[in-house]
């Protein structure tokens, strides 16, 4: 029986399945059904060394004031550095930037060796080839269980006309070049990004 004729039709059987067992594997797999972009968030530590990590928890928050957020795992080696940082930059990766994404998804080490970057606000590294970049002042930090949610106020941003990298189901994906938008963003309420 059809229960939804607004967008795609959905079989009732799909909606009424048994709830999944609450283990880390199942939970992560279900969360992976929500496609995201991929970012590298960067800052400088107290000695001035560049620090960065791959993160897909980025989200837009507010237009006025301009706020964004991402969440950092408490066990990350760079956790204390980001908690103390007064500025950070979010590099939204462009299609094909898997190598740098993987490089910054490994704990510690010299992630910046032979990587080209420029210095943004507070010296936070900005990489070439991105789809967008946001330079932020730390605005607030909230408990998020085994993560902390970091909210940044965007002081400067840049955007290029190139496809973003997509992450879903634990894999990097590319948007198909002939993908057509379903509706024009101009028709939508301003609260949608």
Ligand X SMILES: Cc1cc2nc3c(=O)[nH]c(=O)nc-3n(C[C@H](O)[C@H](O)[C@H](O)COP(=O)(O)O)c2cc1C
Q: Name the site residues for ligand X (rule: CB under 6 A).
A: 38, 53-57, 70-73, 76-78, 105-108, 167
Q: Which structure tokens are listed for 122? A: 């507070």
Q: Select 54 or 87, whichever has its Cβ closest to ligand X.
A: 54
Task: Supply the minimum distance, in Å, between the C-beta of residue 7 and ligand X.
Answer: 27
Task: Supply the minimum distance, in Å, between the C-beta of residue 49 and ligand X.
Answer: 12
Q: Select 100 or 126, whichever has its Cβ closest to ligand X.
A: 100
For residues 94 and 49, what is the distance between their CA atoms, to the nearest angstrom?
Answer: 25
What are the angstrom distances between the C-alpha of 27 and each of 19, 33, 38, 146, 169? 11, 10, 20, 15, 12
Strands 147-159 and 59-62: unpaired
Task: Supply the minimum distance, in Å, between the C-beta of residue 178 and ligand X.
Answer: 25
Q: Select 106 or 159, whichever has its Cβ closest to ligand X.
A: 106
For residues 137 and 161, what is the distance between their CA atoms, to the nearest angstrom?
Answer: 25
Task: Supply the minimum distance, in Å, between the C-beta of residue 42 and ligand X.
Answer: 11
Q: Select 34 or 188, whichever has its Cβ closest to ligand X.
A: 34
Nearest CA among 37, 44, 51 for reference residue 132? 37
């Amino acid at each position: 029986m059809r229960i939804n004729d607004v967008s795609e039709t959905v079989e009732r059987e799909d909606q009424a399945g048994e709830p999944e067992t609450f283990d880390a594997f199942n939970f992560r797999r279900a969360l992976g059904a929500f496609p995201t972009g991929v970012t590298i968030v960067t800052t400088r530590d107290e000695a001035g060394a560049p620090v960065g990590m791959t993160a897909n928890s980025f989200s837009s928050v507010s237009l006025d004031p301009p706020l964004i957020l991402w969440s950092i795992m408490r066990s990350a080696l760079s956790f204390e550095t980001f908690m103390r940082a007064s500025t950070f930059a979010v590099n939204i990766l462009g299609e094909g930037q898997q190598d740098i994404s993987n490089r910054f998804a490994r704990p510690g080490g010299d992630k910046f060796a032979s990587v080209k970057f420029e210095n943004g606000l507070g010296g936070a590294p900005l990489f070439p080839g991105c789809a967008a970049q946001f330079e932020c002042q730390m605005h607030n930090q909230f408990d998020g269980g085994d993560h902390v949610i970091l909210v940044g106020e965007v002081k400067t941003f840049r955007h290029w006309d190139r496809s973003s990298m997509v992450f879903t189901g634990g894999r990097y994906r590319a948007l198909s070049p002939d993908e057509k938008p379903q509706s024009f963003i101009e028709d939508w309420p301003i609260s949608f990004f």
